[in-house]
Amino acid sequence: MRFRIIYGLGLMLLAVFGAVMGGSGVATANPAGLFVSNESCSGGRVYATLNWTPDSAGQQYVDLSARNDNFASSYSTSGPLPSSRTQEPLEQLLPNTTYYMRVSTLIGTEFLRSAMLSYTTRSCGSSGGTGGGTSSGRATPPLHLQGAAFSATQARFQWLPGAGNRYFCLDYARTLPDLLNRVGSWRNSGCSPNPSNSLIVSNLACGANYFARVWTPAGGGLYSTLVSVQTYSCASVISAPTNLLKIFVTKTKARLDWEAGKDNRWFCIDTARSRSDLLNQGSSWMNHACWTTSTQATISGLRCETVYYWRVYAWNQVSNVHSDVSTFTTDDCDTTQVKAPIEDVDVDRVGNEYFAKIVVGRPDACHSFGSYTADTFGNVIELTVYNKKVSGSCAQIYTTYTLTINLGSGYATGVRYIVTVNDDESDTFVGN
């Protein structure tokens, strides 16, 4: 099925804890086995329990959204939760509504995400209590806080009051530690009885991320879950991505790279088998890796022995732009990919980024660099390097070449990371 994104302006998005894995690896979904139990109705709302199996490796967060957009727009987050936590209550959900959930584990500065669970609530009859599931009259925290920016300096927040609450304050800050400790950039707003349970906050910094939560004095002082909002870019005009490059191409895949333009926030890669199809979204046009914030991505599902035209679409909350067009050609259909022999690997740091320098063997002249994959499991980075092998008669001379792979940045300070290549050679480095 072809995935098409609608290109347009005026996007309002909420991104909660959107940490990106360092390097080109993909975070392993360690929290697993998500399922919902103990479903019940009270006061016309649904109450249930989300269950999962944790990896017990770090603090956990539960994301809940009413939109099936891979958590690209507004959603609420519960946490931080203990590393051993296996359940989280779901309260005051709408009946006959589909919700989307995931569990994330924070390892250093990186998040390991579970697979997304979709859950459709039951139908609730007209009968039932009126206390939101708290027949004892005990106060509960404000629920389902959501927020979204609607200008470069303003954001709107809304929430459900919970039981026994009539007075609210919205706390917000530029960093999570400032919010939790009420220091530095921490501010509060709207501290008064608030029957509408919504608030517009103004005088925010443009192009900035804010963390927020709602406080109520009931029950000795209770907090809602956390949300994060990104205000609109300070500039409404963005520049196009540049320096489009292919890192490697196989029969069916290509890893592509580009430099971001000014004020780009998200990217899509457009491909087609003709320039006309690319520019006019013709029959062979497709897009890949949409909503990525990285400037490198691997695309798949390509035809062998085919010329592809491609460009990068970039956008932020208020504007969008396309890069120039580039091309690449996929490998011959009879080309094979084989694991390469590895002679050595060393990890070096350049600026804030780490690079794996790998000495790769070529058994004969029919072998050349093909591709690589990168997977991260906790503090272990597993690289797999493939040679491209063509059929035919080749000189039987063993040679080597050096491959450099960017492992990225953002590694936890003081943590030792292990880099393995084809399970043959390895090296370590300590994040700082």
Rounded to whole angstroms, the Cα distance separating 389 from 370 reads 8
Tokens representing residue 194 in the block: 């608030």
Residue 194 — pLDDT band, cuts 50, 70, 90?
low
The pLDDT assigned to 17 comes to 30
Rounded to whole angstroms, the Cα distance separating 331 from 307 reads 10
Domains in the chain: ranges and CATH: 26-120 (2.60.40.10), 143-230 (2.60.40.10), 242-329 (2.60.40.10), 336-430 (no CATH)
Nearest to 411, CA basis, from 388, 392, 396, 428: 428
Tokens representing residue 262 in the block: 């000014």
- Starting from the edge strand earliest in sequence, which strands make up the sheet with 342-350, in order? 342-350, 353-362, 399-408
Query: Alpha helices, DSSP H only, in 91-222?
Result: 176-181
- Run of H or E including 310: strand 307-315
Angstrom distances, CA of residue 49 to CA of 29, 81, 106, 355 = 21, 15, 22, 43
Average pLDDT over residues 325-349: 93
Residue 351 — pLDDT band, cuts 50, 70, 90?
confident
**326-337 pLDDT, tens per residue?**
999 999 898 899
**Residue 357 pLDDT greater than 60, yes or no:** yes
Angstrom distances, CA of residue 14 to CA of 32, 88, 413 = 25, 22, 28
Rounded to whole angstroms, the Cα distance separating 38 from 48 reads 5
Asked if 99 and 58 touch (Cβ cutoff 8 Å), the reply is no
Asked if 362 and 386 touch (Cβ cutoff 8 Å), the reply is no
Tokens representing residue 302 in the block: 């390509």
Asked if 348 and 210 touch (Cβ cutoff 8 Å), the reply is no
**117-138 pLDDT, tens per residue?**
888 888 876 433 333 334 345 7
**28-87 pLDDT, tens per residue?**
446 888 888 888 888 778 888 899 888 877 888 898 888 787 887 667 788 788 888 899
Rounded to whole angstroms, the Cα distance separating 88 from 34 reads 11
**Residue 19 pLDDT greater than 50, yes or no:** no
Q: Report the amino acid identity of residue 116.
A: M
**Residue 173 pLDDT greater than 90, yes or no:** yes
The pLDDT assigned to 339 comes to 93
**210-257 pLDDT, tens per residue?**
999 998 888 778 888 888 898 887 766 688 999 999 999 999 999 999
Rounded to whole angstroms, the Cα distance separating 277 from 302 reads 15
Q: Name residue 336's beta-bridge partners.
A: 389
Tokens representing residue 128 in the block: 């039932």
Query: Counting Cβ atoms within 10 Å, is residue 125 exposed (0-12), middle (13-18) or buried (19+)?
Result: exposed
The pLDDT assigned to 196 comes to 65
Q: Name residue 245's beta-bridge partners.
A: 257
Query: Alpha helices, DSSP H only, in 13-115?
Result: none
Rounded to whole angstroms, the Cα distance separating 265 from 113 reads 21
- Separation of first and last alpha carbons in the chain: 43
Q: Is 368 helix (H, G, I), strand (E, B) or coil?
A: strand
Rounded to whole angstroms, the Cα distance separating 45 from 407 reads 47
Rounded to whole angstroms, the Cα distance separating 355 from 404 reads 6
Q: Name residue 353's beta-bridge partners.
A: 350
